[in-house]
């Protein structure tokens, strides 16, 4: 259940992370905060590159920080974009998040509004090798 998750607090962490975004090309600041089952969290921001395709999304930065620190049991993610338009996370990030929790609650927000959904909605039939 989502009811015991403090999404407001998680979103504040995502917003703070967006301030660290390295975005000289798009100017589009994204921050993510990934909540672990014990209440700890990892943040990420997008990190762009002059070789554009090497750009890292905020969500995946948060995932690799968490997994490389030994965490794989995730309860939710909040994603903040410093913008007036609201977009859900990109497909690549949905697939990477689904690796660890295909039903992960996802809050995405911009300056004015937020949407609470989950990966089961955002990425139905995610690719998985677990049934092999
Ligand atoms: N971006 C993210 O950080 N997360 C997403 O889910 C979508 C896109 C970043 C990548 C790039 O730095 C900028 O947003 C514009 O695509």
Quote the ligand 1 centre to 30 CA distance (angstroms).
7
Partner residues linked to 74 by β-bridges: 36
Cβ burial, residue 42 (10 Å; 0-12/13-18/19+): buried
Quote the ligand 1 centre to 70 CA distance (angstroms).
25
Distance of alpha carbon 50 from alpha carbon 128, whole angstroms: 32
Identified catalytic residue from 19, 59, 82, 113: 59
60-97 pLDDT, tens per residue?
999 999 999 999 999 999 999 999 999 999 999 999 99
Distance of alpha carbon 112 from alpha carbon 2, whole angstroms: 22
Residue-wise burial string across 103-124, b where 16 or more C-beta atoms lie within 10 A, e elsewhere: ebbbbbbbeeeeeeebbbebbe
Using the predicted structure, report yes or no on whether residue 1 has a pLDDT greater than 70.
Answer: no
- 131, 101 in Cβ contact below 8 A? no
Distance of alpha carbon 20 from alpha carbon 25, whole angstroms: 15
Structural domains of the chain, count: 1
Q: Is residue 82 domain-resident?
A: yes
Q: Is residue 129 domain-resident?
A: no
Q: Is residue 53 domain-resident?
A: yes
Q: What CATH number is associated with residue 19?
A: 3.40.140.10
Q: Is residue 13 domain-resident?
A: yes
Query: What range defines the domain where residue 94 resides?
Result: 7-123
Q: Is residue 59 domain-resident?
A: yes
- 35, 75 in Cβ contact below 8 A? yes
Q: Whose CA is nearest to atom 3 of ligand 1?
A: 57
Distance of alpha carbon 85 from alpha carbon 41, whole angstroms: 26
18-70 pLDDT, tens per residue?
999 999 999 999 999 999 999 999 999 999 999 999 999 999 999 999 999 99
59 is annotated as an active-site residue: yes
Using the predicted structure, report yes or no on whether residue 17 has a pLDDT greater than 60.
Answer: yes
Q: Is residue 98 domain-resident?
A: yes
């Amino acid at each position: 259940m989502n009811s015991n998750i403090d999404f407001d607090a998680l979103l504040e962490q995502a917003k703070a992370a967006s301030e660290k975004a390295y975005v000289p090309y798009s100017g589009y600041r994204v921050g993510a905060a990934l909540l672990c089952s014990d209440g700890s969290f990892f943040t990420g921001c997008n990190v762009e590159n002059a070789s554009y395709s090497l750009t890292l999304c905020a969500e995946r930065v948060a995932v690799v920080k968490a997994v490389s620190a030994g965490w794989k049991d995730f309860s939710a993610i909040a994603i903040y974009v410093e913008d007036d338009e609201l977009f859900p996370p990109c497909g690549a990030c949905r697939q990477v998040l689904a690796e660890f929790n295909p039903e992960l609650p996802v809050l995405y927000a911009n300056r004015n509004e937020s949407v609470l959904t989950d990966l089961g909605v955002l990425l139905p039939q995610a690719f998985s090798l677990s049934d092999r």
